[in-house]
Structure 1
Amino acid sequence: MVIPKNLNLLLSAVIVIIAGLVYGTYPTYVMPELLGFQVVDLELKNMLRAVMGIYMGVGLYWLFGAINPKFWYGATVCDVLFMGGISLGRIVSTLFDGVSPLFTPALVLELLFFGWGLHNLKKYKE
């Protein structure tokens, strides 16, 4: 079975865009329901919506890279850096703060996408 090289970018984009929307669309409702903390400070709302913007921008770039072959390589490098960076942050948190039942599955997926992206960069050189 041949897996299209764009599938990594497409799946990464969909997941990250959805995560961004969860973080930033209605933080005063979603965060208490999902993570158990209230979002009342303007600065926290602003920060969560900024994270949403980052996630949306990066996810849209990955979608663009999946559709436009001229941007595939750069988008895949971006995907690898994002997934590797967020995985590293979660690993540091796990070591210092303990295992998160909610975010451990996310860590596993991020590591898989990181490895898959590295594999694609090696397989489909620029």
Structure 2
Amino acid sequence: MGTNSTRTGSVKNLHLIIASSIVIPAGLCYGFAPDWAFGITDTSPTLHSVLKAIMGLYIAFALFWVVGIIKPKYWGAATWSTLLFMWGLVFGRIVAWFLTGMPAPIFVFGIVGEFILGLYAVLQLRKYSNSTF
């Protein structure tokens, strides 16, 4: 019983595991290495403040997803927040693309990955909760 239950739990939580394991390092990059990770070279205090705030949001959401893995009663909310987080990023990146032009390749890759993770969250909600789409 333990093995099957563990396997089901890890499959059910896979989207949260993937999202948190990507978003925590990405958040740290926004906060501490935007030049290295994203080619952001502006050194103004205002931009650094914005990037640290983005880092905080990324890490806070990722930690909530970890809570959703550990505490099943938060799984649904964590999954919904993963969906909204990922598709919110996709929306913002597409708007930026249309308004300012083609982004760096890492952000184009990000759009695809974020869309897929959001879609995976939808599929997980359909499979493991009472949510309807």
1:90 corresponds to 2:96: no
Q: 1:37 to 1:124 in 2, by over 3 A?
A: closer
Q: TM-score, normalised by structure 2?
A: 0.82
Aligned to 1:13: 20
Unpaired segments ≥5 residues, structure 1? none
User: 1:31-83 deviations in whole A, cap 9, x for unaligned?
Assistant: 33333343422222121111111111000000110121111000000000001
Instruction: Figure out how many residues of one structure are paired with residues of the other and give that number.
Output: 122
Q: CA shift at 1:10, angstroms?
A: 0.8
Aligned match of 1:78: 81
Shift of the 96–6 alpha-carbon distance from structure 1 to 2, 3 Å rule, reads same
Distance 1:37 1:115, change over 3 A: closer
Cα distance in 2, alignment partners of residues 23 and 37 from structure 1: 9
Separation in 2 of the partners of 1:109 and 1:67?
24
TM-score normalised to structure 1 length? 0.87
Q: Distance in 1 between matches of 2:44 and 2:97?
A: 27
Identity %: 36
Q: In structure 2, how many angstroms separate the alpha carbons of the residues matched to 1:93 and 1:34?
A: 19
**CA distance, structure 2, for counterparts of residue 32 and residue 22 of structure 1:** 9
Ranges in structure 2 where 5+ consecutive residues have no aligned partner? 1-7
Secondary structure at 1:117 match in 2: helix
Distance 1:99 1:40 in 2: 23
Indicate yes or no: 2:104 matched with 1:107. no
- Kindly report structure 1 stretches of 4+ aligned residues shifted beyond 4 Å: none
The CA RMSD over aligned residues, in Å, is: 1.9
CA distance in 2, matches of 1:22, 1:34: 6
> Which residue is equivalent to 2:48?
45
- Give, in angstroms, the shift of residue 97 of structure 1: 2.5
Q: Using a 3 Å threshold, how does the CA distance of structure 1 residues 39 and 99 change in structure 2: closer, same or farther?
A: closer
1:106: Cα distance to partner?
A: 0.7
Which structure's residues are more often helix, by fraction?
2
